[in-house]
Amino acid sequence: MCPEYEPTVKEQAQITIMDQWQGIETYLENEGPYLLGDRFSACDIYLQMITTWLEDPADLLNTFPNIRNLVKLPTIVTTLIRGSRKAKKLNLP
């Protein structure tokens, strides 16, 4: 990649990523609280996991309140805690 284009590519990538998050936000606003409407699924856990990969998840969660609400729902938190306990019993990392 040519260095003179790098900031432009990064900026466009950020715009594209935010557009994708906005699509999820809009869907949750209209169809939520879960990605499958009223039904909790592994998709919701996966979305929560993806938010933890971000450099600053707080920025994303402050920008998109429906995504924030989803990843903080008791169903997801409880599932993650249970999964963590099972992983510890199996000596998984």
Domain segments of the chain: what residues?
20-89
Angstrom distance (rounded) from CA 67 to CA 42: 15
Per-residue model confidence (pLDDT) at position 92: 43
Residue 25 is predicted with a pLDDT of 98
Q: Are 33 and 75 in contact (CB under 8 A)?
A: no
Mean pLDDT of the chain: 85
> How confident is residue 8, by pLDDT bands cut at 50, 70 and 90?
confident
**46-81 residue pLDDT tens:** 998 898 888 888 899 999 999 999 988 888 778 777
What pLDDT is recorded for position 70?
92
pLDDT of residue 30: 98
Q: Are 48 and 80 in contact (CB under 8 A)?
A: yes
